[in-house]
């Protein structure tokens, strides 16, 4: 048991360090030697845990990116009736985390999508799976809001979901090193105004 725990702790440390290096320098500009140097590990130790640099990165996606995206942007929306309020709170919390930590996985994910698009179909499939799960979750939340009377029934659920994903990724990009707190505040103000336009229209008497 102790050996398993030690192995898991080692893999976790390797993956966290690997993610930081891949984020800072890009996957293709980061070698296995760079990772080993940062971790003070031998090549044998690396290949004991991972088959290749690509395998290492895929495990980072599955163990770090998926978990972070689920906990911050997917799970908070599940099971709530007034989904506009819940999406607002979810984005507020996720962006507040990003204000204090630019290595936040919403932005990292978009970086990697740009880097691997057209270059590595295997890794792109894993990244696109995260985006698809996020999109399906948002669509479901918006549909639930329509069903419960919080969102106008004529609203295009798929269109709103894509818009929200694009807006979130966009604001994360703009927040990096440039007045993140102020940009978050302005973004959230506009998001609330947008959500008001999605609410059911008052019936004419």
Assign residue 132 the CATH number of its domain: 1.10.357
Q: How many structural domains compose the chain?
A: 2
Q: Give 115's contacts (C-beta < 8 A, 6+ positions apart).
A: 26, 27, 28
- Domain end (from 17, 33, 50): 50
Question: Does 161 map to a domain?
Answer: yes
Reported pTM: 0.88
> 101 and 19 in one domain?
no
> 44 and 115 in one domain?
no
Q: Give the per-residue pLDDT at 154.
A: 96
- Yes or no: say if 130 and 68 are a contact pair by the CB < 8 Å rule: no
Question: Does 116 map to a domain?
Answer: yes
Question: Does 205 map to a domain?
Answer: no
> 60 and 45 in one domain?
no
> 123 and 28 in one domain?
no
> 57 and 46 in one domain?
no
* H helix runs in 26-120, sequence order: 32-39, 43-49, 53-60, 66-69, 83-100, 105-116
Question: Does 203 map to a domain?
Answer: no
> 119 and 65 in one domain?
yes
CA atoms within 13 A on the CB side of 15: 20
> 191 and 96 in one domain?
yes
Question: Does 118 map to a domain?
Answer: yes
> 40 and 29 in one domain?
yes
Question: Does 179 map to a domain?
Answer: yes
> 58 and 45 in one domain?
no
> 26 and 94 in one domain?
no
Q: Give the per-residue pLDDT at 204.
A: 39
Q: Give the domain range for residue 46.
A: 1-50
> How far is residue 129 from each of residues 34, 142, 165, measured CA to CA in Å?
28, 20, 14
Q: Which residues of the chain have pLDDT under 50?
A: 203-205
Q: Give φ, ψ of 196 to 5 degrees.
A: -60, -35
Question: Does 145 map to a domain?
Answer: yes
Assign residue 19 the CATH number of its domain: 1.10.10.60
> 149 and 138 in one domain?
yes
Question: Does 103 map to a domain?
Answer: yes
> 145 and 74 in one domain?
yes
């Amino acid at each position: 048991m102790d050996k398993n725990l030690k192995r898991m702790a080692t893999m976790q440390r390797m993956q966290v360090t690997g993610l930081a290096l891949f984020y800072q320098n890009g996957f293709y500009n980061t070698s296995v030697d760079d990772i080993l140097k940062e971790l003070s590990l031998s090549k044998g130790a690396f290949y004991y845990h991972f088959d290749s640099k690509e395998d290492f990165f895929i495990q980072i996606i599955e163990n770090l990116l998926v978990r972070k995206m689920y906990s911050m942007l997917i799970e908070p929306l599940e099971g709530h009736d007034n989904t506009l309020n819940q999406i607002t709170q979810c984005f507020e919390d996720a962006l507040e985390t990003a204000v204090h930590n630019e290595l936040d996985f919403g932005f990292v994910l978009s970086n990697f999508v740009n880097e691997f698009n057209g270059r590595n179909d295997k890794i792109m499939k894993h990244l696109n799976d995260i985006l698809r799960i996020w999109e399906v979750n948002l669509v479901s939340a918006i549909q639930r809001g329509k069903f419960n009377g919080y969102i106008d029934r004529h609203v295009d659920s798929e269109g709103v979901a894509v818009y929200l994903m694009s807006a979130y990724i966009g604001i994360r990009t703009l927040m990096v090193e440039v007045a993140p707190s102020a940009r978050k505040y302005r973004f959230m103000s506009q998001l609330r105004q947008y959500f008001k336009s999605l609410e059911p229209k008052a019936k004419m008497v």
